[in-house]
């Protein structure tokens, strides 16, 4: 079973950039809600070396039809050269929450 909703994830280097992106998405009706999870630790390879950073995670709740616009907005507003953008298909959930998303995003 599938729904017409998606969760888009990204990470930011600062709380300020995370809040900026979240507000931009919500104000432009690209996301119904964005959760900001502060202080996650990320270990990854960048420019040939292992890097360890403190980052901020964003969980963006949106509709499938808006995903390409969400990705474009994240890339435009992000401070990273190569921002993480991953899209997760929402297969089930609260119909009341989905109804609220529809109201907010229309």
CA angle 28, 31, 32 (to 5 degrees): 110
How high is the pLDDT of residue 53? 95
CA dist 9 to 37, 57, 96, Å?
11, 7, 23
Place 67 in a pLDDT band, splitting at 50, 70 and 90.
very high
Q: What is the pLDDT of residues 10-38, one digit of tens each?
A: 999 999 999 999 999 999 999 999 999 99
The percent of residues in the chain predicted with pLDDT above 90, rounded, is: 96
Is-contact 79 20, C-beta < 8 A? no
pLDDT at 1 over 80: no
Is-contact 41 70, C-beta < 8 A? no
The topology under which CATH files domain 5-105 is Alpha-Beta Plaits (3.30.70)
pTM passes above 0.85: yes
Residue spans of the domains in the chain: they are 5-105
Place 2 in a pLDDT band, splitting at 50, 70 and 90.
confident
Is-contact 61 31, C-beta < 8 A? yes
């Amino acid at each position: 079973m599938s729904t017409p909703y998606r969760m888009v994830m990204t990470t930011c280097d600062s709380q300020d950039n995370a809040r900026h992106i979240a507000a931009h998405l919500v104000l432009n009706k690209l996301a119904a809600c964005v959760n900001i999870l502060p202080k996650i630790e990320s270990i990854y390879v960048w420019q040939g070396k292992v890097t360890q950073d403190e980052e901020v995670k964003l969980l963006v709740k949106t509709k499938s039809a808006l995903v390409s616009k969400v990705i474009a907005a994240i890339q435009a507003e992000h401070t990273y050269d190569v921002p993480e953008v991953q899209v997760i298909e929402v297969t089930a959930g609260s119909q009341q929450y989905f109804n609220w998303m529809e109201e907010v995003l229309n």
